[in-house]
Structure formats: C-alpha cells, structure tokens
Structure 1
C-alpha cells in the first residue's frame, strides 16, 4: 500500500538523540515546544507528524523499554509524567504518546521473561512510534491461519487511535475459529490496509482515531506476538487496563494544568472589562487570586493521587512474576478509580478557564475551549459509569477486577 498522498504519513528521522538523564524534564521541554501552534493544529485538525518525529528523535518513545533491550529503562512514574507533560502542551499529542506507551509494551505484557525480546529490540533500534488496532469489543475482525504460517486479517476496526500516524501498529483479532485472540504487530504500510479519513470529533482532533479497513492483510508468523501465559488469550491482557487508566489520567491532568497555565498567562498579561474595586490588574484582583488558588489546590491534590497510584503500579509491575490473580485484579480497580477522579476533575477545571478572561475568552482564535473538548472526548471513550461500578465493587466488597473470557464455552460455541 502506498501512503505518499496521505498527510498523516510518518516522517523519516533526521537523528537519534542520546537518552536523557531526566526523562520528565525532556517531556516537559517537548510539551512546552508543542504548546506553540497547538490551538491552530486543533482548529485545523492538523496531524502532528512533525511532533511525532520529535518524540522519536528524542528517544522518548523508548522510555519504558528495558535498557538491556536498547530502551531507556524508565520507571512507570517517568512514563506517566511524560504523558502528562506532553499533554500539558498539546492534548492530542499527549493522548498519542499515552497510546504509544501501552501499545509498545504489549510484547512485555505477553511475556514477563523477555520471551519477546527480539520484538522489543527491533522497536528500540528503530525508535518506532506504535499505536493500535485493538478493540476487545469488536467481534467482526478475524485472523484466519495462512498455509505459509501466520494469519490473514479481514474486517473493519473503528477508533484506532494514532494508527495512521505510526510506523507500527498492534493488531488484535479473533481467531477464525472463535476460540481465542491473536495479537500481532505490523507495519502500517502493509498491503491491504486502508485508513479512512473519518476522525472528526470535538476534541483530540490531532489524535487520529480513524477507521481502518483490513482486506486480506498478511500477518506473518514472526509478527505474531507469542502468548506466554497459561492457556490461550481469551480475555483482556494483564496490566492493559491498569497502564491505560494511569495514562488516561495523565492526559486529563495535563489538560487541567494546561487550562491553569492559560488562565495564569491571561491574568498576568491581558485584561478584562471588570475588576474588583482597588485592583489594578487581573493578577492582583482578590477574587481572581482566590479563584485561581482554589483551582490550583484541587489539581495539586489530583497530582498527589496520581503519584500514589503510579507508585502502586510500579510496585505491581516489579513483582509481576509473583502476583496472584487477586493482586493483579486490585491494580486496575485502583487505577480506574484514579481515572474516574482525574476525568471528573479535568471536566470541572477546564471550562472554568473562561472565568478569567470573561467574554474576551470566547473568541474563536483563543481556542480556550480545547482543553475541555479534549477531556470530554477522551472521557467518552470508556463510559465512567462502567468504571465506577467496578471501582465500587472493589471499594465496598473488596472484589478485585477480573475480566472473563470473551469467548463462549465449548457447549455454547456455534
């Protein structure tokens, strides 16, 4: 398949910069750079292909991969805060980085003992930017065994975040006999893949989640990600939900901080028609100071919660070979609680940005609404009411979160 006319086509790398000593500082630097032009990219739904190239060149895409496999060896906290800092600059790019981190970790989720080392090393050597064609709820996407090994993929996947912008994408399909999942990875220019340009949401407008059509696409044997856990893969990957929820939370909190950054900049450097008596500017208006202090304090509390759950995930990941099913199931319940809290916080904080500029802030060129639109779009992906039900069952009844098989038993199979 040729993608030469696709404006989302990945750009070639110009350099491989050495890994930094401080990953979060690097992410913060990139986030500040990405803030420039973010409003214009949002309004025009411009794919952030140059920014993704910078993520690759900087080495940030390799942050979480182990050092002995060519990666940066960063911690869960490094990874989560890097997503937050990038999202603080541009929510779409933050979301794309979030999806990259937990899709590039799929080989690690499949095998805790480096059985998929060759895949990871290939990715780090090339500084691949990964995204996904992964939806456990899609039941009309199949992998049929091929006589030469591997599979042939057919079907349609909707809402595949970042896949058109990536060199490599994970792909999840049901085996044609409907007994288990097949997980693989493949280059996005593989013959038979067609990317539709149908991503047109209210927010995250640069995080291309277009529909992807597969028409007899070959997934070669060495592109199948070996499953090394007990039995066949019949349910959601271990750690998939937990990492995903933490990274979603990072995008929400990054959006909330971006709104506060914008409010601070406006209060210091601009004006509105009404001020409190005795105030000479927004920045010394006592009502504005009180309001900003309230919002800032609430986000700081959210960041503390974020750090706590991130530390719990790090501990769980470090002990992954020792955890029983109950211990594994507690991690996503706690991560979903964080995601629910962070989502609600972002949805409350981001629209209150308009309280600072007043009517001036509603000018379209200001794009002050994009922070709320980004948070609203992401929070709609997985309805919070579903997450809160699982969180409530954990909090009230100490019931770990477990995903059952997505396939019928022998007696139920058609």
Structure 2
C-alpha cells in the first residue's frame, strides 16, 4: 500500500473532518505545513502558550496517524519517514516538531509496553478521531503514586516537563506503586476527572511545547489502562522506547541546526556588509566567512548521515519485534547516541556562530534568530551530552553497551 496522506485546508477545518484521500505524500504534506508554520514561528515564539491553530492543522493533515499501521487505519509509515517529517517541521518550528514527535513516541510507548488488544484499539481510535497524545510520564519525577483500590488504581501527585499535555486527547502517565514501588505506565484520557494541566511553561526555549506540569488528584486508572504486558523496558524490543525518544530529539536538533544555517546564509548573502579589513567587495568573498560555512556544512552533513543511518537501524530493529536481542539493541543505542551528540554539538555551534557570519543586522529583535540557540539549548540540557559521550567511550574502550534505561 502506497503512503498517502489525508489532508485538508489549514484554516476552518472541523474538529473531526471527514477523510479526503489525496495523492500527496506525507513528506509533501509536512513541507506544506512547515511553510505555513514558518510564517508565524518568530511571533509565536515571542508569545509562547499553546499553538492551537497549528496543532489543529496537524490534526487535519492526517499526519498524527503517520506511524500507525494501515490495519489500524493509519498511514503505515516506517520510522525513517516519521523522523523525516519531524526534521522538516523542526526546520520551521521546533516546538511543533517536538509535540508532533512526542505524539508518535507516546504511540510507540503503547505499542512497546502494552498488549495487542490495548495498542490495536488505541491506534484505531487515534486514527479515527485524530487524537493528539501528550506526555506525563517523566521517569525522573517520582512525585506521583499509584494506590491500589478494590478494582482499580488511584493516581495522585504531580509531573513536570509534560510536553504536549495541553490540547491533547490522550496522555501517557506514570506513577510509582505506593505498596510495591513498581513503575506503572498507563494510557488515559486527558479530560479524566482529577487531571489538571497547568499553563505554567515559561522557559526561554521551546516556548510552545506546553511542557509544564500535570497534577493528579485521586485519578481513577483502570487495570486495563495499565501498560503491563510486557511492560516498561521489559525486553530488548520494549527497550526501543528510549531509543525512539533519543532519535526524535536528534532530528529536532538537526532541524534546528539546518534552520539556523539557512537563516544565517540568507543574511550573509543579502544583508551582511564586508568588514573593512577584509579587502573584499562582498561578504560572500570573505575567506574567514567561507571557512566558517565550510565547517557548518561539514558538521551538518555528518549529522545527517548519522541520523539517517540510525533511522534505518531503528526500522530494522522494529521489524525484528520480540526477536530483537540485547546485542542488536545495544548496537542501535550506540548509533543513535552518536547521531544525537553530533546533531546537538553541530547545532549548538551553528546557532552560536551564525551571528558571526550573518552580521550585526541579524540581531534585530523582531527576527528572533536567537530562538534557534534558545530552543536547542533548552532541549539539550534535559539529557546531558557528556553522559552520551561516556556511553560511547565505554563501548570504544571496553566494548560495553549502554545499559537500557529511559535515557539510554
């Protein structure tokens, strides 16, 4: 079955539009959406808050069903295509790429941790109703406890860094079992009684990811909503979840770096003036500027190659299913770690030095070109690169694979 997309106009789309099958690839739809999102990205970065119209455009596009198999009403895309869409969106607006990528990460969580009856039903509902999934898992925040009741569990507590929770229909949530201390992961409706989502995300980057806090006040969670068969990180295949998260971030970082490169290039060619001591008539003839662009390009080419190689590896691992073994998983973890470090380091370098080659005019406040650095800096702090490099060092010296966790 060829990949197609269900797409509608960006404006005035109904909440649950009737599907309109068009001969348009997911990448083409993503590029069209990205062009639209880019027009308001700087202004929305200044405003912060929920990008409601843009999230609704993603709903209407059909791309929320991109990674869902055709058997459950989705588009049946592989991970390479899904990650390409994340990267395309990140070039225009990394906040929207973030919530879109995490939506597909939440779907992968249901698939990897849940039983077939759970994920198949949830995939079908997501495809039919164009649900947006949000994140309230955050394994480092253990303030939420699950208390056993007669025939259900009661979640109470709070989670931070809950990307995409606002304006979502479904949430992946986690808690520590109050009695057994087991780590519980569940899929629940966002509007369930007792769930409160705060509009309290006000960081200097990724300002429209709605990555604030979620509070649970005696929330009833049914046993059939707990993803316990096979459960969190219970097998090499289930341990693909953190690797998918890492590769989504890699493509967000790469998209940010590519956007910063293109913005710098535009201002170098159209606005920057040659420095008097350069003895050249045009900025694009300055040897120091040309040298920096060569370094930028080389870094991006390397990061792209590593990211694409890792995406191909993820698809191979995904196709293995429960047959995936620890060695195959470990090799993929190393490939993704290398891609992530490369994308982050290259992106931070370009986002910092772009003003050296674009010139003083590029610092005009309304352009908000500093958002590239702010977005990338905000995101890369949540999973320190030094520990990724150490993992690769453990392999390089001692041939030890990264220990599976929610971050490796």
**Structure 1 counterpart of 2:156:** 154
1:249–1:343 CA contact under 8 A, matched in 2: yes
Q: Report the alpha carbon displacement of residue 191 of structure 1 after superposing the two structures with TM.
A: 1.5
1:150–1:222 CA contact under 8 A, matched in 2: no
**Structure 2 counterpart of 1:312:** 313
Aligned partner (choices 209, 217, 220) of residue 219 of structure 2: 217
Q: Which secondary structure does the structure 1 equivalent of 2:375 belong to?
A: helix
Q: Report the alpha carbon displacement of residue 84 of structure 1 after superposing the two structures with TM.
A: 0.6
Report matched runs for 1:99-248 at 5 Å. Answer: 99-111=102-114, 116-147=119-150, 149-228=151-230, 237-248=238-249
2:49–2:199 CA contact under 8 A, matched in 1: no
2:87–2:97 CA contact under 8 A, matched in 1: yes
Residues 77-129 of structure 1: per-residue CA shift (max 9 Å, x gap)? 10111111100000111111121111121121125866631121111111111
**Structure 2 counterpart of 1:366:** 367
1:330–1:401 CA contact under 8 A, matched in 2: no
Paired residue total: 392
Distance 1:137 1:372 in 2: 25
2:236–2:329 CA contact under 8 A, matched in 1: no
Q: Which secondary structure does the structure 2 equivalent of 1:194 belong to?
A: strand
Describe the shift of the 1:301–1:387 C-alpha distance in structure 2 as closer, same or farther (beyond 3 A): closer
1:130–1:167 CA contact under 8 A, matched in 2: yes
**Structure 2 counterpart of 1:40:** 43
**Structure 1 counterpart of 2:396:** 395
Distance 2:235 2:157 in 1: 19
Residues 302-333 of structure 1: per-residue CA shift (max 9 Å, x gap)? 10111111111111111122122232233223
Instruction: Answer with 81-90 or 132-141: which moved more.
Output: 132-141
Q: Report the alpha carbon displacement of residue 273 of structure 1 after superposing the two structures with TM.
A: 6.4
**Structure 1 counterpart of 2:9:** none
Distance 2:168 2:110 in 1: 17
The answer on 1:342 being equivalent to 2:343 is: yes
Give the unaligned 5+ runs of structure 1: 1-10, 406-414
Distance 1:174 1:122 in 2: 28
Q: Which secondary structure does the structure 2 equivalent of 1:205 belong to?
A: coil
The answer on 1:296 being equivalent to 2:297 is: yes
Distance 1:332 1:245 in 2: 9
Instruction: Answer with 232-241 or 302-311: which moved more.
Output: 232-241
Describe the shift of the 1:226–1:122 C-alpha distance in structure 2 as closer, same or farther (beyond 3 A): farther
Question: What root-mean-square deviation, in Å, do the aligned CA atoms of Structure 1 and Structure 2 show?
Answer: 2.6
1:20–1:26 CA contact under 8 A, matched in 2: no
**Structure 1 counterpart of 2:252:** 251
Residues 110-153 of structure 1: per-residue CA shift (max 9 Å, x gap)? 25866631121111111111121112222331122333x33211
State the TM-score, normalized to the length of structure 2.
Answer: 0.88
Distance 2:115 2:81 in 1: 20
**Structure 2 counterpart of 1:64:** 67
Residues 179-217 of structure 1: per-residue CA shift (max 9 Å, x gap)? 422221122222211222221112101111111111011
Distance 1:333 1:114 in 2: 32
Instruction: Answer with 60-69 or 331-340: which moved more.
Output: 331-340
Q: Report the alpha carbon displacement of residue 265 of structure 1 after superposing the two structures with TM.
A: 2.2
Q: Which secondary structure does the structure 1 equivalent of 2:162 belong to?
A: coil
1:181–1:233 CA contact under 8 A, matched in 2: no
2:237–2:324 CA contact under 8 A, matched in 1: no
